[in-house]
Amino acid sequence: MFSTKVRYALKAAVTLSRLQAYPGGERAVTVREVANEGELRFAFLAKVVAELASARVLKTRKGPGGGILLSKAPADLSMAEVVYAVDKVDDLTRCLLDDRPCREFESCQVHGCFSKIRINLLEETSIAELDSSNTLCKVAFA
């Protein structure tokens, strides 16, 4: 459902939430800590983190106690903010019925319904909700 880059971005955001690395949380953490905790490849994660920081989804701190943290509390950060920070085209435009892009002007039979579901999923689901026990959300980015 999501590209590798988007899955890494979402897993990093959830991992930062779990480590309480957000404003008002415990601390900033290193990219290495996020990679280890989230079982992610460090080199690829570092590139994704740079994009998330550039889009201001993450904050960075230098010096002792430095590292990365979410720019907002997990409950205030939507999946959409994370997804669109690293995937401007949005891999969710792939057709469900055929292996091709599904666009408004040449859409498949389920495009309209799936578009609404996708928008609701991304915009209405927070990083805190992804970190909850909601199995459907966890399956979507696993």
CATH number at residue 108: 1.10.10.10
Look at residue 114 and tell me whether its pLDDT is greater than 80. Answer: no
**Which residue in the block uniquely carries the two structure tokens 């498949």?**
108
Provide mean pLDDT across the span 49-59: 96
Phi-psi region of 65 (alpha: psi -120 to 50; beta: other; left: phi over 0): left
pLDDT at 139: 46
pTM of the model: 0.80
> 84 and 27 in contact (C-beta within 8 Å)?
no
- Please state the domain count of the chain: 1
Look at residue 50 and tell me whether its pLDDT is greater than 70. Answer: yes
Query: What range defines the domain where residue 119 resides?
Result: 4-141
Look at residue 103 and tell me whether its pLDDT is greater than 80. Answer: no
Look at residue 135 and tell me whether its pLDDT is greater than 50. Answer: no
Look at residue 73 and tell me whether its pLDDT is greater than 50. Answer: yes
Provide mean pLDDT across the span 40-68: 94
